Amino acid sequence: MSVGIEKRGEVAILRMDKARANAIDGPFVEAMIEAVAEVDDAKGVLLASAHPRVFCPGLDLVALVELDRPAMKQFMARFATMVEALFGMSKPVVAAIGGHAVAGGCVLALTADYRMLKRGGVNVGLNEVRVGVPLPWTVATLLRASVRPERLSEVALLGRNFADEEAVRVGLAQELGDEANALERLEEFVEKDAVSLARTKQYLRAGALADMRAHEAEHADEWLAAWFSDSTRARIKETVASLGKPRGPAPA
């Protein structure tokens, strides 16, 4: 199972537990969408990883590089649906970033209301432009809603990774701490009036969600053109080859 569900009283933990360190492929996306629906009765959700050193490394390039254009377009549409499902949850969501969260892993973390990053050099960031693909429309919209405006160029255009206090200053995390600290912060959210919190969260995120849904499809071909460009395909294949294994994750 790519995403397990653990119940802790009134809260649920969505525990990413996929082989190859939670690299995102089609089955992972579907498992996350299903898991979000299954925790509808919980009062709060913690997003965490079963892998101690990795939260999520991003897209599974080894699996996705084999997809043709129509299949990749379908995958990216479902990826956007997953992001919208997480970002649009009415209940409070806290991400316990206990290991590296880059590219698509950073995207997953950004869907949360609050991000607790483990101290000690755990990297979080978006490297898509460095790989040779633009941020998908949905991801760019999510980023604008999550990160300090004056730091957007560093995160999105330079593709830098951040750790510890610098990640907090940028806005990729709100606090440094471990999973136990993240659960404590989630309990603080859960203590609030559920209806008032849900309604306020809806107001805060309505604009970004509407933007995602209105424009993702119209920009899909622009993203695909970059993904299937000769230069980007060469970089992806070099990355896959560098893994030295028949199958394995690579951040994107």
pLDDT per position as a tens digit, 192-225: 999 999 999 999 999 999 999 999 999 999 999 9
pTM of the full structure: 0.94
Pick the CATH number of 3-190 from 3.40.640.10, 3.90.226.10, 3.40.50.720, 3.40.50.620: 3.90.226.10
Q: How far apart are CA 171 and CA 163, in angstroms?
A: 11
CA distance 181 to 118: 10
pLDDT value of residue 242? 80
d(CA 172, CA 147): 6
| Beta-strand runs (E) in 98-216 | 100-102, 114-117, 124-125, 161-162, 175-176
> Residue 145 corresponds to which amino acid?
A
What per-residue confidence (pLDDT) applies to 247?
41
Structure tokens at 59: 């897209």
pLDDT, tens digit (0-9, with 9 covering 90-100), for 9-52: 999 999 999 988 899 999 999 999 999 999 999 999 999 999 99
- Give per-residue pLDDT as tens, 122-158: 999 999 998 899 999 999 999 999 999 999 999 999 9
Q: How far is CA 218 from the centre of its chain?
A: 22
First to last CA, the chain: 22
> Which pLDDT score is estimated for 252?
57
DSSP state of 134: P
69-113 pLDDT, tens digit per residue, is 999 999 999 999 999 999 999 999 999 999 999 999 999 999 999
Gap between the Cα atoms of 78 and 229, Å rounded: 22
Q: Tell me the pLDDT of the chain averaged across its residues.
A: 94
3-state secondary structure of 93: strand
What are the structural domain ranges in the chain?
A: 3-190
Among 110, 95, 112, 210, which Cα is nearest to 156's?
110
